[in-house]
Structure 1
Amino acid sequence: MGMLSLKRLMSTRQRERRRRRRHKVQVRNGSIPSMSKAKKDNSRPGKRFRDSWPNLPADIWCNIHSLMPMQDSARAACVSRAFLHSWKRHPNLILTKETLGLKQNACGKGDIARAFTSKVDQILKNHSGTGVKTLELDIFDCRDLDTCYLNNWLQIAITPGIENITLWLPLKYRESYTFPCSLLFGGNGSSIRHLHLTYCAFRPTIGIGCLRSLTNLYLHDVHITGEQLGCLLSNSFALKKLELIFCDEIICLKIPCMLERLSWLTVSYCRMLQMIESKAPNLSTIYFDGDLVQLSLGQSLQVKNLDMRCSNNTNFLCYAITKLPYIVPNLETLTLSSISERINTPVVAAKFLHLKYLEFFLDGDLSPGYDYLSLVSFLDASPVLETFILGVNQGYMEFDSIFGDASHMRQMSEHKHDSLKDVTIFGFCSAKSMVELTCHILENATSLECITLDSVFDANDKDDMGRCSVTSARKTGECSRLTNQMIMEANRGLMAIERYIVGKVPSTVKLDVRGPCSWCHTLEL
């Protein structure tokens, strides 16, 4: 909308200039009388130009201006007095290298930092300080920026009415810069809905309890203690989403019961964390990545989605099947990632009675001879399971191959999985127990509609299993790199599928088999 109005304005000016040039030529040629001889009227060029503007209130022009990208807004302010006025109270200050037109290949990092500092300083000093809704400030490359500049910029932009604050700081600021919490006191903080801070210290106190509109809080590599975070959370009644990444000072994360709107919690790589205690009654999604901690979810009945990736814990699948049915009994989707499984998954009495989607990633060290068929325990514990995904990193495989001994294939006919419809296995190999698991599913999942077997595990491409050799155009470097050993095992996995599985696929089930890329995954001599 904004750019269309601007183009119309520029087109009007260009037409007016052409008309005036034609008029002068005609006067000199004598084809029409000059203005001094012509009958006077009210069609003066200046008046016509002023009348060419749409007769809109100033607030409408400000709204048009606010909808433009940052660079277009600045350009419009250079050619329009109305836009120049609205530029001084522009609501969306998105100040990054990209929005300011600073290209890395055009000058060195030092030049970019100086140009960035100069432009941002000029923009904010010329801003009226009113009407700001969004401040996004990315100074990641300005490693030597004087913090006085930063504090001045924040003081100008953080005013009553601001809703979104995003601050990307250089890594070195993590130890030396403390976000000025005093700017959030009073009316300045009451309208903030989104607060995103990285690489700094953030020390809220009891007096900061004015963030009553805060719905999203994102802290990445921020120095903040559990008590200080509690001061902030205790009065953030509107909070819906909380994300904590690399916040190493937090030992115990306590989420109070008054956060009735909180539905999403992300806790990732908070290395000193020992416990998560949540009393939020409507928390429905939890994403956790790091060392296993004590979970105390007092009102966990609403937790429907759980994604846990434990990077330093052995036998995490054993923990998950024995503990999680009691901690989060109403799960509907569960994603688990383990780096070390030394024992097989046990059979348990506990059930995930509502679980419909189950995803495993075994992305690390498995004991030689790990029994993939033992994962049937999870299928048995999930009576309404519809989707099952298993990913196994081929770089850590040690197993007994089915080509060594295909006799005595185990069967577990007493285990039925009547709701299972869709199964996918990434990193399918020739391990005998993996072939047994696949055959078991084909024989006992009575509602199965589709099974996908991919002999390559690519964690970055697990959603669409793309291979550049099967796309419409070759894209060099799209496929993950595999060692010679991984390529050979992937091909053995395809042979195992052809020999032992294809013949057991019911006619009602669609089988999709994927293998190595014919361009990227070739053996190196």
Structure 2
Amino acid sequence: MSAKQDLLCQQGGERPTYLGPNLPEDIWCHIHSLMPLQDAAQSASISHTFLRSWRCHPYLNFTEETLCSKQNASRKGYTARRFIMTVDQILKNHSGIGVKTLKLSFPYYCEVDACHLNRWLQIAITPGIEEVTLFLPTNYKKKCSFPCSLLFGGCGNSIKYIRLAECAFHPPVGFVCLRSLTKLHLYQVRITGDELGSLVSNCFALEKLELIYCDELIFLKIPLWLERLSFLMVSECHKLQVIESKAPNVFTFRFFSGPICLSLGESSRVKDLDIMHPYMPNSLRYAITKLPSAAPNLETLNVTSVDERVNTPMAAHKFHNLKYLKIHLIGFSKAFSPAYDYLSLVSFLDASPTLETFILIVMQNDMKHDSVFGDALHVRRIPAHKHGRLRKVQISGFCSAKSMVELTCHILENATSLESLTVDTIFDQFNQDTVVEHGDCSRRCVQTESGCGPISRDMIVEAHKVLRAVNLYIIERVPPAVQLNVREPCSQCHKLM
């Protein structure tokens, strides 16, 4: 029986009624492979061709979205049992042949039996598979171990992408089964530095490595011969003390954790670096004292600090190639130190002779610094600090602190190639990188469906003070060739009552 005849509706007779084109069976199988999982399963129950295709369905995507109906979403116990039963039934009827992608992402309320899990993985992980994703429940207490033995015998040689979450992964020493692996993403995975080092040292095709909340890692060593590795992300690995990378072509590095011993090799080619120490103060001090020598070829640098207690020092070495600098200061959970001097950020500008773009983002509930409206303003000047390449400056969350006004005046007087200065009176996370022309900023809420986000009255009062500070101290210092963009408080949402 042809695929077309399978899909015909027969009513009391043997002669079918034509419902579709007469296509070859391999075309119907391809169409079937593109269907969502539930639709593919249902169509297999009415078509012999689709049933044969279903037993070799290449894309096995088991998630709450694909398997659980919205009507039963509130019945967690029922939904969990239904989810497990559906996965088990589908994989029991699958031949294991032709699988390209396996995604097992369990709802947080599921209880997963390790025996069932291993059996499902054994069915699906066969020669030819390219992607494996396993997300176990977040609150699952029995940490299952990913069965590395399934990757032996040629099953692992075709895998290009592995994503594991909430499990243990203990590849044995000399593990050489992932020769085609290009992306490895581990989230809350129990793996030691020795195990990870042994694993990646044989993944010669590896291009992207992401490690998040892997708390058994104490050191991370990446060997010289991983020439294709270009992206490295390490986040919230709380016990990590050392990162030593000799991979020659790591261009992008994202690091969010405590201060560590960082070694990127003498000829490091890291050009894009994003760094944050979420539980330690003075990230700016760390960045300016450690990074010029650790990553000498940087072109883009993003530094996020949650607490600056000391002024930013002058750099002993320079960022000779840095073109883009973003500094993000977060002060919502605690007030910024009133003693911190925004003018000390000139240290970064002075250490970056090729800098073209400087973005400063300040998020704080209230302003504790000395106000520019206190005593008469005498702008401090730092002689012999010229920033000849700087063309664009944007300050989001501008405040009326005396030292921030001084920083802005310093830039206007010493950035000889400056083209635009954007001052945003309120931090706007939706449009923080958008340059808004002066005069088009009165209504922020037109850019979102729900209006402006809620902010405190203190922040609204501060925003209106900023407008006064800009009019009194900034506008008169703006050179004719520089375009000044002032983003004002929303005329509807940020009124002073």
Secondary structure at the counterpart of residue 282 of structure 1: coil
Question: Which residue number in structure 2 is paired with residue 254 of structure 1?
Answer: 221
Deviations, residues 324-366 of structure 1 (Å, cap 9, x unaligned): 1111111000011112222222223421111010010111353
Shift in CA distance, 349/496, structure 1 to aligned 2, threshold 3 Å: same
Cα deviation for residue 449 of structure 1 reads 2.2
Q: Choose the corresponding residue for 2:100, options 114, 133, 145.
A: 133
Q: Choose the corresponding residue for 2:432, options 462, 468, 473.
A: 462
Question: Which residue number in structure 1 is paired with residue 180 of structure 2?
Answer: 213
Secondary structure at the counterpart of residue 185 of structure 2: strand
Shift in CA distance, 203/474, structure 1 to aligned 2, threshold 3 Å: closer
1:201 is the counterpart of 2:168: yes
Identity of counterpart residues, as a percentage?
55
Deviations, residues 178-222 of structure 1 (Å, cap 9, x unaligned): 111111112111111110000111111125321111111111011
Q: Choose the corresponding residue for 1:496, options 463, 469, 475.
A: 469
Decide whether the 8 Å contact of 1:265 with 1:283 is kept in 2. yes
Shift in CA distance, 202/474, structure 1 to aligned 2, threshold 3 Å: closer
Q: Give the stretch that moved more between structures: 229-238 or 59-68.
A: 59-68
Cα deviation for residue 139 of structure 1 reads 0.7
What is the aligned-residue RMSD (CA, Å)?
A: 2.8
Shift in CA distance, 473/427, structure 1 to aligned 2, threshold 3 Å: closer
Deviations, residues 270-327 of structure 1 (Å, cap 9, x unaligned): 0111110111111111100011100012244311111110123332212221221111
1:54 is the counterpart of 2:17: no
Question: Which residue number in structure 1 is paired with residue 356 of structure 2?
Answer: 386
Cα deviation for residue 67 of structure 1 reads 2.4
Decide whether the 8 Å contact of 2:38 with 2:66 is kept in 1. yes
Gaps of 5+ in 2: none
Deviations, residues 106-160 of structure 1 (Å, cap 9, x unaligned): 5411121122112111111111111000011111334323222222211111111
Question: Which residue number in structure 1 is paired with residue 290 of structure 2?
Answer: 323
CA distance in 2, matches of 1:445, 1:105: 61
1:475 is the counterpart of 2:442: no
CA distance in 2, matches of 1:335, 1:151: 42
Matches for 1:52-451 after TM superposition, within 5 Å: 53-56=21-24, 58-103=25-70, 106-173=73-140, 175-364=142-331, 365-395=335-365, 397-412=367-382, 414-451=384-421
CA distance in 1, matches of 2:179, 2:205: 6
Cα deviation for residue 169 of structure 1 reads 0.7
Question: Which residue number in structure 1 is paired with residue 459 of structure 2?
Answer: 486
Q: Give the stretch that moved more between structures: 437-446 or 272-281.
A: 437-446
Shift in CA distance, 231/348, structure 1 to aligned 2, threshold 3 Å: closer
Decide whether the 8 Å contact of 1:301 with 1:329 is kept in 2. yes
Secondary structure at the counterpart of residue 111 of structure 1: helix
1:514 is the counterpart of 2:482: no
CA distance in 2, matches of 1:193, 1:438: 49
Secondary structure at the counterpart of residue 341 of structure 1: coil
Shift in CA distance, 174/223, structure 1 to aligned 2, threshold 3 Å: farther
Normalized per residue, the structure richer in helix is 1
Deviations, residues 29-85 of structure 1 (Å, cap 9, x unaligned): xxxxxxxxxxxxxxx944x849x64342x4333222222332332343344332222
Decide whether the 8 Å contact of 1:468 with 1:479 is kept in 2. no
CA distance in 2, matches of 1:130, 1:513: 61
Deviations, residues 235-286 of structure 1 (Å, cap 9, x unaligned): 1111111111110111011111121111111111101111101111111111
Which of structures 1 and 2 has the bigger CA Rg?
Answer: 1
TM-score by length of 2: 0.90
Shift in CA distance, 127/514, structure 1 to aligned 2, threshold 3 Å: same
Q: Give the stretch that moved more between structures: 58-67 or 245-254.
A: 58-67
Counterpart amino acid of residue 54 in structure 1: N
Secondary structure at the counterpart of residue 511 of structure 1: strand
Cα deviation for residue 500 of structure 1 reads 1.7
CA distance in 1, matches of 2:314, 2:293: 15
Deviations, residues 354-385 of structure 1 (Å, cap 9, x unaligned): 10100101113532132211111111111111
CA distance in 2, matches of 1:177, 1:499: 64
CA distance in 1, matches of 2:75, 2:124: 29
TM-score by length of 1: 0.86
Gaps of 5+ in 1: 1-5, 22-43
CA distance in 2, matches of 1:492, 1:436: 16
